[in-house]
Amino acid sequence: MNKGKVIVITAPSGAGKTTLAKKLLADFPNLIFSVSATTRPPRKGEVHGKDYYFLSVEEFQKNIKEDGFIEWETFYNGSMYGTLRKDVEYHRENGYFILFDVEVKGAKNLKNVFGSECLTIFIKPPNTEVLESRLRSRGTENDKTISLRLERAKMELTKASEFDQVIVNDDFDIAYNQAKDLISSFMSS
Ligand code: 5GP
C-alpha cells in the first residue's frame, strides 16, 4: 500500500480555512484531519480529541521534550499549538491522506518536513476589511485579540507566494471547488 500524502491548508485567521477544511473532510473519505494539540482553552462546542487535544502547558512541554511534535508554534496570545507525530505516521502508513489546518509558520515547517509528499494551499481573504468583519462576526474574541489577529494576518498575507497554491476566498463555493480540484489531482499524482 502507498503511504498517504499530506495536504496543508493555511491562512491568516478569518480567511475561512477551518470551514473549508471541514467541508473537504466530509467530501473525501480517504482524508483524515490531523488533530493538533493546544494549550488554549476549548471554545464553546469544541471537543477534546476531535477539534484539538487540549493539553496543559506541562503536558505540552513534556511532548516537546520527548520529540512528540512534528512542528509546534507559540501563537500571538502565548498559546502553543503543535502537530503530534504519532497520529500522522499511523494514518499515513495506512494509506490515508492527512489534512492539516495550521498557521502560516507551521505550514512552512510541514512543507520542509514532507517536501513533495505535501501540498500547501494558502487561503487568502479578498481584502483586509472582509477579514476584519469575519473575525468580528465570529464573536469568539474581544477587541484586543481581534486587533492582534488582524496585525498578524496582514503580515501573513505577505507570505502567500511561498506556498504551492493560493486560493482567494471571496465566494466560498468557488474557493471550495478550486481546493477540491487541486486536492483531487494531487491525490492521483
Ligand atoms: P485557533 O485558536 O483559532 O483554533 O487557532 C489559531 C491558529 O493556530 C490557527 O491559524 C490554526 O490553524 C493554528 N494551528 C492549529 N493547530 C496548529 C498546529 O498544530 N500547528 C501550528 N503551527 N498551528 C496550528
Residue ranges of domains in the chain: 6-188
DSSP-derived 3-state class of residue 16: coil
Is a pLDDT exceeding 90 seen at residue 133? no
6-188 domain in CATH 3.40.50.300? yes
pLDDT recorded at residue 87: 87
Which of 21-30, 86-95, 127-136, 155-164 has the weakest average pLDDT?
127-136
Is a pLDDT exceeding 80 seen at residue 126? yes
pLDDT recorded at residue 76: 75
Q: Which amino acid is at 56?
A: S
CA of 72 to the centre of ligand 1 (A): 9
Q: Which atom of ligand 1 is nearest to the CA of 107?
A: 22
Confidence of residue 132 (pLDDT cuts 50, 70, 90): confident
Q: Which atom of ligand 1 is nearest to the CA of 79?
A: 2
The continuous run of DSSP H or E covering 128 comes out as helix 128-138
Q: Which atom of ligand 1 is nearest to the CA of 17?
A: 12
CA of 29 to the centre of ligand 1 (A): 23
Residue range 68-92: mean pLDDT, rounded: 92
Q: Is the dihedral of CA 25, 20, 12, 4 positive or negative?
A: positive
pLDDT above 90: percentage of residues in the chain: 71
Nearest CA to ligand 1 atom 1: 13
* Top mutation candidate among 9, 19, 38 for ligand 1, by most atoms within 8 Å of CB: 38
4 lines ligand 1 (CB under 6 A): no
For residue 83, which of 65, 68, 103 has the smallest C-alpha distance?
68
Grid cell for residue 157: 498575507
pLDDT recorded at residue 131: 80
pLDDT above 70: percentage of residues in the chain: 98
Is a pLDDT exceeding 80 seen at residue 140? no
Which of 13-17, 83-87, 124-128 has the weakest average pLDDT?
13-17
